[in-house]
Amino acid sequence: MSPTIVLITGANRGLGEGILKRYLAKPDHIVIAANRNPDHETSKALADLPKGPGSRLIVVKIDATNETDASTAIQELKDQGIDHLDIVIANAAVIFPFVKIEDAKIEDLRTTTETNFVGFFLLYQATLPLLLKSERPTWITIGSGAGSIVLQNFAPIKPQSPPNSPTLFTFNQLPVPNSVYGPIKAAQHWLTKRINAEEEKITAFVMSPGWVQTEGGNESAKLLGLEEAPQPVEPTCDGMVEVFDKATKESHGGKFLTWEGKDESW
């Protein structure tokens, strides 16, 4: 029986690390952590995580801002005997300070576009040939409600310190100013749906983790006067991996799903 091979970008902390831990603990899995800096202590610490029978970890360098990193990493994986990818989880992203449109710095927008948008293209183009060699290839984009045009299902937490625009709730927008991060996530969502349509063999969908207690999630929560985001990391990662493992083209392809497997608003 050949192992299930999973590649996760940004897998050295937060949601990426949480997802990696769960796949690495399964039997007969090769889990690839594609991190910006494999020599960082958080990347090195991944080697100490528990491994299921027959499972192993590979760490490669993919800096989303480097035009050749993704293709170089794939060649390195081929040299190590990796002949296919069953699951690719596009998780790596940069989040700049939460600001209104009028306060956004163009340089921050350029950097976010290069990392979260151009880097997304580079990752997909580099991994596609190995994905197509899998019997059941799956592409998962870790998306965000920040990229939703309308969040009809969002249950807002009443802020202790209201944001500058009290009308955000009225228009079904997140109450946090995210003029730099939000539109690029929306572009990732579009691309993911398009991948599912273009590639008959690939199951591609967007996963919305929710408002999770990651560095970015807690930072946005503090803007509303909260101590931290409402959603713990561990149960969120449990739910996401459960959704991932059930994914089929018919049931999940082209969808925007929550960590509980429910439809999210585009």
> Catalytic one among 23, 26, 124, 185?
185
Q: What is the DSSP string of 8-27?
A: EESTTSHHHHHHHHHHHTSS
> Catalytic one among 181, 193, 249, 255?
181
Q: Which two tokens stand for residue 28?
A: 């007969």
The answer to whether 201 is a known catalytic residue is no
Q: Which two tokens stand for residue 261?
A: 């497997």
Q: What SS3 state is found at 138?
A: strand
* Residues 38 and 61: beta-carbon distance below 8 Å: yes
Task: Of 152, 144, 148, 149, give the one whose Cα is nearest residue 231.
Answer: 144
Cα separations (Å) of 194 from 20, 187, 189, 199, 205? 26, 11, 9, 9, 10
Tokens 């955000």, located at residue? 168
The answer to whether 181 is a known catalytic residue is yes
Task: Of 221, 247, 248, 243, give the one whose Cα is nearest residue 232.
Answer: 221
Task: Tell me the CA end-to-end span of the chain in Å, nearest whole number.
Answer: 38
- What radius of gyration do the chain's Cα atoms show? 18
* DSSP H helical ranges for the chain: 14-24, 41-44, 69-79, 106-112, 119-131, 181-198, 215-223, 233-246, 249-252
* DSSP H helical ranges for 113-263: 119-131, 181-198, 215-223, 233-246, 249-252
Catalytic residue set: 181, 185
